Amino acid sequence: MSKRSTLILAALSSGLLLAGCGSRETTPTLADEMRGAASGFQAQAERKEQLAGEWERGQSLIASGQRKKERGERRIQSAESELERGRREVSEGEAELREGRRLVAQSERAFEELRVPPPPAPATDR
């Protein structure tokens, strides 16, 4: 064999040897296990962080909801009070209307009676 063939053969053999070593399956190392465990802890930590955020949002919604509920109840109470006040005013207004119409009708009748001249007094012979 020539020197050149030997070099080519050696180069190919080395390449195949290195390729075989690179593709060979290896058992997981302790570092691989640590990384796997860390990723599990990381996922758990992220979930706990998410739960903490949801809890804080829930607390905020509870406080906001309580304030809105109390404000709404005050508005309802005020509206009910205003409604009752309005009903009293309507009732008083209706009573005043009835009394006013009665007085107007009565005074018009009395005025008409005064406008009509009294009948002449019967003649008496004396």
Q: How does pLDDT run across 95-123, given as a tens digit for each residue?
A: 999 999 999 999 999 999 888 777 777 77
End-to-end CA distance of the chain: 188
> Taking all residues of the chain, what is their mean pLDDT, rounded to a whole number?
86
Which residues have C-beta within 8 Å of that of residue 36, sequence separation ≥ 6?
A: 28
**CA 113 to chain CA centroid, nearest Å:** 71
pLDDT digits (tens, 9 = 90+) for 9-22: 666 766 666 655 55
- So what's the pLDDT on residue 108? 95
